[in-house]
Amino acid sequence: MATLRDILTTPDRVREGAGELWETLDRNRVRCYACGHCCPIPEGQPGVCKVRFNCGGKLYVPYGYVAGVQCDPIEKKPFFHAYPGALAYSFGMLGCDLHCAYCQNWVTSQALRDPNAISPPLEADPELLVQEAVAQGAKILVSTYNEPLITSEWAVAVFRQARQAGLLTAFVSNGNGTPQVLDYLRPWIDLYKVDLKSFDDRHYRQLGGRLEPILHTIRSLYQMGVWLEIVTLLIPGFNDSDGELRKLTAFLAGVSRDIPWHVTAFHQDYKMTSPDDTRPEDLLRAAAIGREAGLRYVYAGNLPGSVGDFEHTRCHQCGETLIRRSGYAIEAYKLTPEGHCPACHAAIPGRWSQRFDGQIAARPFLPRSRPQLVRILSQP
Ligand code: SF4
């Protein structure tokens, strides 16, 4: 029976990588620039991510499938300063360049490394995905669930169609980028969420990465003018010391005090089952450190109702509550059509619609009709 790797390397499921994202080396090797590993890949081998591979001295990359699609409130990604209430049609492929022991999407991200991660891919094409997104009422198409940088060519193919249909586009990413991949994505991406997992390079190496490429991605995206929000999953005993949080938030505030920082609660998952789940008081301590560092928009997530006003957006100038939330649900919206505070007229950083039209959904749901997506594989 065909293995998942066999299925994903058939001609319909791959394309030659974008010329900007790889180069040839000696001895028929190639170097990939889609993520911060910058793998030199020998003939016949995949890179660290297991989904980009060298065949005959050329780099081949994933194309033409999704591992899953879902309609999410944009607040779930989370973006709190971009089109509140919008529906985000979210799709992912398989594989990741990291191997975090606590990954909440391990079934798709680790599908090529872990035999317990069973996630049959579905055939897809960009035009049909966009048609379906429009039919669901989505405003934004999001590449998420696995690491989108390693499947950037597919994302750009989908985003080209999305732009033609008048949709916005976003990445939900670990941020392990390179100058090459950020330049490649720049024309096609509106919003970017980076998961800043730690501020300690030793911790990043435990997860299979390095800290510096992530910091470079954050600085670069901000300079490029892509709307950026940052998430840190707070894991007791791993990344939650006051010292580490002070360094992390000082770095973010040094890039811009206007970057929203979401500190979210960990729950035991995948292979990380020993730390306790994050408590509300842990989130509140981290959020207070973020505010002390000068960040103007700090949010505490995953524990709705337990984190005081850290679920809401308040004007950085006068403190007026501008958006009141409970979890992903928006309970009140007061921004002006220009994205200003109605009380003191301060411009609130973000990407705002002219008016708030309510939410299609405050919870994720599967698309109501999926006629075009065809299951292509049942794994053994
Ligand atoms: S995406 Fe990253 S891990 Fe995968 S081949 Fe390219 S450089 Fe290596």
Global pTM value: 0.94
Q: Is the CB of 139 under 6 A from ligand 1?
A: no
Cα 219 to ligand 1 centre (Å):
21
pLDDT of residue 272: 62
Cα 13 to ligand 1 centre (Å):
17
Helix (H) or strand (E) holding 122: strand 122-123
Cα 172 to ligand 1 centre (Å):
17
Nearest-atom number in ligand 1 for the CA of 38 is 7
Q: Which of 22, 41, 48 to mutate to test the pocket of ligand 1 (most atoms within 8 A of CB)?
A: 48
pLDDT of residue 269: 65
Q: Is the CB of 208 under 6 A from ligand 1?
A: no
Q: Helix 242-255 crosses helix 211-224 at what angle (to 10 degrees)?
A: 30
pLDDT of residue 104: 76
Cα 194 to ligand 1 centre (Å):
18
pLDDT of residue 353: 96
Cα 187 to ligand 1 centre (Å):
21
Residues of the chain with pLDDT under 70: 1-2, 108-119, 269-273, 369-380
Q: What is the DSSP letter of 62?
A: E
Strands 321-326 and 68-73: unpaired
pLDDT of residue 117: 61
Q: What does each C-alpha distance from 79 to 116, 149, 241, 328, 341 come to in angstroms?
A: 31, 19, 25, 10, 19
Q: Is the CB of 52 under 6 A from ligand 1?
A: yes
Ligand 1 atom 5, closest CA: 47
Side-chain-side CA neighbours of residue 104 (13 Å): 12
